[in-house]
Structure 1
Amino acid sequence: MAPAISNPDGLHDPTGFGYSHIAEVSGGLVLIAGQYASDAEGGVAAEDFAAQVELAFARLGTALEAAGLGYADVAALRTFVVDHDLDRLAVIGRVIAGIWGDRPPVQTLTGVASLALPGMLFEVDATAERPPRTGPSQDRADD
């Protein structure tokens, strides 16, 4: 089965950049493309690193919500940081703790020289899992 690709309202149209925001694949996996501090046209909306991290995670939340999911459904994060250092790691840690508390998803952080757009300092993508469906329709399938 082909992935269900979508680009929800509330996020910029990424097709001009050559990608889509969400792919739902078999088995309940939902892949969220790299989110950053994007404005309505896909430009970078903030210069400050901390503001970019907060906006990127807000955009991730928008994508998850559009897929009918929430932060709790995220299993894995991949973060990309320009000029990574311990101060930037602390910023990311605070934002993640504010969302997931003491049970964050697994994460791979990669320090990079640059990202896709000038001024872009942070990007995060995610893998989430749709919870199994339960209820009357599921019960009938088991009969």
Structure 2
Amino acid sequence: MNYLIAFAVCLFTFQTKAQTFKNPDSLFNPTPYGFSHASSVKTSGELVYISGQSGGLGKEHLLSPDFREQVQTALKNLTTILNSYNLKPENVMKITILIVDHSSEKLKIWEEEMSKTWQNKPFPASTLIPVPRLALDKMQIEVDAVAFKAN
């Protein structure tokens, strides 16, 4: 019975209207790093789950050896998908970034390029995961996201 009540509450809270991004004052400010601590949606609408986008360019999936170029391409690919739903980066609620052989230099590049894509804040909730490799040789980054489209 408790499961039914919890399920009903989840459905109800999802039916109200608003996107919220939170960065509690008692936690560090994540804005310079291009993310918010949490995001939520309280409205009816459409959640858009975007598969991992690599730094592969075009239908040929050409991978530059340059990390910054792959980051730029991955963000461009993500934006292309958002545009197909008439959405913008600001509609992204959660983003996950996988970086091969992560370093502070690569993190700085990610932050610089993400800030160019997310010119109008708020930043989404974010998780960065260092990995030893990705699906294809020469892939250095993969970015997936969950976006929200209000009705």
Give the TM-score taking structure 2 as reference length.
0.66
Q: Would you identify which runs of 4 or more consecutive aligned residues in structure 1 move more than 4 Å?
A: none
Is contact 2:57-2:73 (8 Å) kept? no
1:122 equivalenced with 2:141 (yes/no): yes
Partner of 2:126: helix, strand, or coil? strand
CA distance in structure 2 between the aligned counterparts of 1:114 and 1:37, rounded to whole angstroms:
14
Are positions 1:35 and 2:53 aligned together?
yes
Secondary structure in 1 matching 2:115 = helix
Within 5 A, what are the aligned runs for 1:8-19? none
Q: CA RMSD in A?
A: 1.6
Q: Are residues 1:69 and 2:87 paired?
A: yes
The equivalent of 1:47 in structure 2 is 65
Q: Tell me the matched-pair count.
A: 107
Answer 1 or 2: which has greater strand percent: 2
**Structure 1 residues 85 and 121, CA, compared in 2 at 3 Å: closer, same or farther?**
same
Q: Distance in 2 between matches of 1:52 and 1:30?
A: 23
Paired with 1:94 and 1:118, the residues of 2 have a C-alpha distance of 25
Task: Determine which structure has greater relative contact order: mean sequence separation of CA pairs < 8 Å that are 6+ residues apart, divided by chain length.
Answer: 2
CA distance in 2, matches of 1:42, 1:35: 14
Structure 1 spans left out of the alignment, 5+ residues: 1-25, 133-143
Percentage of matched positions with identical amino acids: 33
Alignment partners' CA distance in 2, 1:80 and 1:42: 21
**When the two structures are superposed, what TM-score results if normalisation uses the length of structure 1?**
0.69
